[in-house]
Structure 1
């Protein structure tokens, strides 16, 4: 007999559940869609911190972390396919305190990625039509995509597939167009005379932006058909897709002209085309218009993920219970969608895209570390757990991912001390409040199944 947390969504305890409708292609689209805006903006701030060469090294380091992480994380997602993702894994491995830490980090990751994307959407629209202000456009994105997501995951998954395919095709066309204009001397020009550990570490938060949020697939695991085979196929194909696109976009963009002009703007790809083809070239404007698809894909998919994380935490009792209410007709967590939208709208008004990216990245690496610790712990604690997918090269892959996650966390903290104090201070305050609320009743109840 196996004891399980009574807060898990099973038929035995009548917890709110979600509809299983997502297939492999749709899950690949959600995984790529969650991340693909990272190829359109945000990463270029790393050039301002590290130069192109230092940032390339940071990107390769982060790429190794994500490859080893995804191959390890897939084992957890297929073994415990619940909407809480890392929260559920840590809760099972370390109890409620571990679950709380992982849940908090995941929530920061997925609540703060959408406002950064929404702000970039506003910036792209403003690039096309300067009379349209950035912030109202960004806020309108929340209204539109929360509404879309209220009508069911099946419809949302279809929309994700459509915009993600368009986004991938657009990036392939972008790479093909700028390739003839690439010059290595441009890429290496204007870099510091020596590449230091400091310069590499300073670029890590922005290198993470290339891939951050791919782990959001775990948050829709309850809604996947045949998760034992669907999740591994989607995860592995999506990380391959993203690595190729990220390195192609970043390296080629840096060699088109003076990369310093791209290092502090929210629309680097249209500007790269302008540098290659001329300021008045119509393709630059057309690309900026089409570029909205990549940002829309990520914003839409992150809206799905943040709502499922809020839903899962509320269902487990970590957040107010009403946030776990599921719409009877569409089986979507409508209050979780709206609550996350309110938080994101507040973040938009700060107007600090780079700082929001850093906070999201910090939440991500803390979650990655907790997830890899959970994987190592569950291998010992529950050796008989059904594992449809086994992490390859165990224990080396999860250990590499864990070490690199900690390295990235240290780098982010070192170069962003104020934001780190805000993150960890909030975590400690919330954790203390959680402990005081539950007192000595920290251990989850169990049932026999």
Structure 2
């Protein structure tokens, strides 16, 4: 047996912090990434894909919140799958979650570099991306409460900017543009576009990674998730529809800065608003970039604490109580991805990790309902078992579509998983029971708090 008792993270976060972290994690998805879906589906095809994925996220979040509130563990899906399915379930869920957040970070960094290059062409996008990696690792090192306050600030600015964007471009919207070649690839294009529609909401589940740092998690986590999801749904549909009617959507389907480009088409190259918007557009990308670094570091920390990764990655800074080595490890992976991948490929790999993690989480929910019927559940998934079943089915269809339409990248994803499983077995980790005071005692803590 392995005793993994360590220092504990500080519980300082409130609902407003959770809303800011959740929206901040995702909001870059409204700024870029989703538009790659137009390439494979057209405007109406992508709209249909987005409706399907929105239904998936509504049912998923209401179901996932049950797990997060009942088991507030920094490992998120890793902890739920371990508890439900044992070591291999935990390993696969942990791998999927790491891929989700560790690859979302460099994808957003590329967009940050592109936005800066739009403003100042003499700044190479890659150098900007590397610079932001270093700066936000330092910010996250300084403390979770300080990071959360920063998240509130930049997230409010990012939401306000998207509302401003919709106000600026709405007078220039033309239905003829939006309906031009609406489904050039038919229904197959809808399936191919599902991964890019996920980008509108991907990483909202990252709130689970800070669950150990939330005050009264049984009450505050549901508030944070639900308010964030409502905000994101309004922004996603507003941005997508209005942008699609500004010009020939083909011109915006393969760029990393679609919103400034849309304003440029609407107002002209000489408009000061184009540059101003690109400048403040950095806030949305910064909010997500900051949030994904926060979430990925907590995932690395939790898996290392449980013995699934090198132990030193679970060490906390004595002064700030933040997992500094986990932050550095995530930064190194982001650096490597920036030098080796393209934005749309990195987005795809991140989404594949997320969708697999969603599937395992829903399976864990079903198992734990039977395996641990007595577990204190401060929040229960509504319309059970329908909601988690709908989420699981749509996730499975999306996952199959990703394998079908992008087999080479899928092969790389599964090759990485095979290597991880092989190392796991060779080290004998599958034979060691985790003694994780947070993972195994959380139910008792929540029960005591409820009483």
Q: Same fold (TM over 0.5)?
A: yes
1:112 equivalent in alignment to 2:103: yes
Q: Of residues 134, 138, 143 in structure 2, which corresponds to 1:147?
A: 138
CA distance in 1, matches of 2:206, 2:183: 36
1:17 corresponds to 2:15: no
User: Partners in 2 of 1:355 and 1:38 — Cα distance?
Assistant: 15
Residue 412 of structure 1 and its aligned partner are, at CA, apart by: 0.8
Question: CA shift at 1:6, angstroms?
Answer: 7.6
The number of equivalent residue pairs is: 439
2:124 and 2:101 map into 1 onto residues whose CA distance is 25
8 Å CA contact retained: 2:65, 2:225: yes
DSSP 3-state at the match of 2:431? coil
Q: Of residues 44, 48, 54 in structure 2, which corresponds to 1:63? A: 54
Displacement of 1:406 after TM fit?
A: 0.6
1:18-417 superposed matches below 5 A: 18-192=9-183, 196-417=186-407
1:364-422 per-position Cα deviation (integer Å, ceiling 9, x unaligned): 00000000000000000001100000100000000000011111100111111011011
8 A Cα contact 1:110 1:306, kept in partner: yes
**Is the Cα contact below 8 Å between 2:2 and 2:432 reproduced in 1?**
no
* Superposition map of 1:419-438 within 5 A: 419-438=409-428
Aligned mates of 2:429, 2:337 — CA distance in 1: 32
Q: CA deviation at 1:177?
A: 1.3
Shift in Å at residue 196 of structure 1?
Answer: 2.5
Q: Please give the per-residue CA displacement for 1:331-353, whole angstroms capped at 9, x wherever unaligned.
A: 00000000100000110112400
Deviates more, 1:51-60 or 1:71-80: 51-60
Distance 1:424 1:76, change over 3 A: same
Q: Within 1, Cα distance between the matches of 2:135 and 2:418?
A: 35
User: Normalised by the size of structure 1, how large is the TM-score?
Assistant: 0.95
Moved more, 344-353 or 395-404: 344-353
Which region of structure 1 is more displaced relative to structure 2, 75-84 or 16-25? Answer: 16-25
Q: After superposition, give the CA deviation of every residue in 1:77-100 in whole Å (9 maximum; x if it has no partner).
A: 000001000000000000011000
CA distance in 1, matches of 2:381, 2:218: 13
Structure 2 stretches lacking a partner, 5+ long:
445-451
Q: Distance in 2 between matches of 1:199 and 1:366?
A: 21
Cα distance in structure 1, aligned partners of 2:430 and 2:271: 67
CA contact (8 A) 1:310 1:319 kept: yes
CA distance in 2, matches of 1:369, 1:359: 16
Please identify runs of 4+ aligned residues in structure 1 that moved more than 6 A. Answer: 446-449
**Alpha-carbon distance in 2 for matches of 1:169, 1:319:** 40
Q: Are residues 282 and 87 of structure 1, via their aligned partners in 2, closer, same or farther at CA, if it must alter by over 3 Å?
A: same
Task: Tell me by how many angstroms 1:225 deviates.
Answer: 0.8
CA–CA distance in structure 2, aligned partners of residues 422 and 130 of structure 1:
34
Residue 203 of structure 1 aligns to a residue in which SS? helix
Contact 1:44 1:263 in 2 (8 A): yes
Return the alpha-carbon distance in structure 2 between the equivalents of residues 31 and 377 of structure 1: 26
- Cα distance in 1 for partners of 2:157, 2:427 equals 48
Deviates more, 1:34-43 or 1:169-178: 169-178
User: Structure 1, residues 398-448: CA drift from partner, whole Å, max 9, x if none?
Assistant: 000001111110011111101101111110121122022116725445989
C-alpha separation between the residues in 2 aligned to 1:95 and 1:66? 26
Shift of 1:14: 3.3
Q: Could you say what the CA RMSD is over the residues aligned between the two structures, in angstroms?
A: 1.5
- The verdict on how the C-alpha distance between 1:438 and 1:51 changes in structure 2, with shifts beyond 3 A counting, is same
Post-superposition offset of 1:105: 0.2
Indicate the residue corresponding to 1:10 in structure 2. none
Q: State the 1:190 CA deviation.
A: 2.9
